[in-house]
Amino acid sequence: MKLCRFELLDHPDEVRSGIFHDQRIYETDGRTGTEIHELSAIRLFQPLGSSPSVRLYDLYSGDQGQQELLHTYVNPTLVTGSNSDIEIPADGSGWDVEARICCTVTDRGSQIDRSEAAEFVLGFTMMLCLVSVDEMESAKSTGQPQAWARDLGIFVGPFLVTPDELGSIERIDQTTFRWKYQLKVNGEVIVDGLDQPEVGMADLIAKASGRHEVFPGELFALPPLQKPALEMSTLGRTLMAGDEVILSVEGLGDLAANFG
């Protein structure tokens, strides 16, 4: 299933839940269907509601050359849905985006073994995270936390896709997929790729639950999908006001980010 949260354009500020199917939204009350809506009649929110936490994972090389999986927490209140607008901050320059695949869990748990992690996955979604290139490079070079460089704006959605919906996607194991993806800026294709994952969602969940409990609704984001820096791409510059970025991932849909 492709789960979503939305409002009707003629009844704003009333959050509803539904299932996306055949280009329509089937509204539910949690138990049964209630109404059917055309996409033109609704505005999507981010599909998770208010997440208790948002973890962005990255792979780093350790002292002995081994790969280490570490995470940064970012502010959950920054999360918004597809086609939302975020203003590019005036106090800086060099804005880019990280494109990530995310998941959330359906139950609380601690010390979750990697072999058991698939049982905890409720669904998958996408993320576009606005980042300051200058602040990110400074943080990496000085060993400082990278949260400030990402504390700007996060788009998540458009749907939360349950694992049973992903039968046609090539997978390595139950939570590790080879995602086909495309990133566009203002309609121009920046990258058209196939993810070659080094870690899967099971690794993230096992790592997170090893120290303390994980809870339903927490958002876990894989390391970024590979893409060129925007200023080194065919775009030839970093983001600016008026740009639209669209991340498309096979099986997950299209996530649109608008920058003002």
In the chain, the domains with their CATH numbers are 1-45 (2.30.30.370), 46-259 (3.90.850.10)
pLDDT of residue 178: 97
Two structure tokens written together for 49? 């509601």
Query: Which pTM value belongs to this model?
Result: 0.93
Q: According to DSSP H, which parts of the chain are helical? A: 133-142, 147-150, 201-209
Three-point CA angle 174, 60, 171, nearest 5°: 15
Q: Is the pLDDT of residue 140 over 80?
A: no
Q: Say which range, 131-135, 147-151, 232-236, has the weakest mean pLDDT.
A: 147-151
**Paired residues of 61 in beta bridges:** 67
pLDDT higher than 80, residue 151: no
Question: DSSP class of residue 131?
Answer: E
Structure tokens at 236: 């030839």
pLDDT digits (tens, 9 = 90+) for 103-134: 999 999 999 999 999 999 999 999 999 998 88
Q: Among residues 181, 6, 3, 147, which one has the least CA distance to residue 78?
A: 147
Q: What are φ and ψ of residue 16, in 5° steps?
A: -125, 165
pLDDT 10s digits, 181-223: 999 999 999 999 999 999 999 999 999 999 889 999 999 999 9
Residues 32 and 260: their CA atoms lie apart, in Å, by 39
Whether 142 has a pLDDT exceeding 80, the answer reads no
Least confident of 25-34, 55-64, 74-83, 142-151: 142-151
The residue among 224 and 62 whose pLDDT is bigger is 224
Q: What is the pLDDT of residue 232?
A: 95
Q: What are phi and psi of 226, to 5 degrees?
A: -70, 130
Pairing of strands 84-86, 253-259: parallel
As a whole number of angstroms, the distance between CA 177 and CA 124 comes to 11
Strand partners, 42: 8
pLDDT category of residue 33 using cuts at 50, 70 and 90: confident
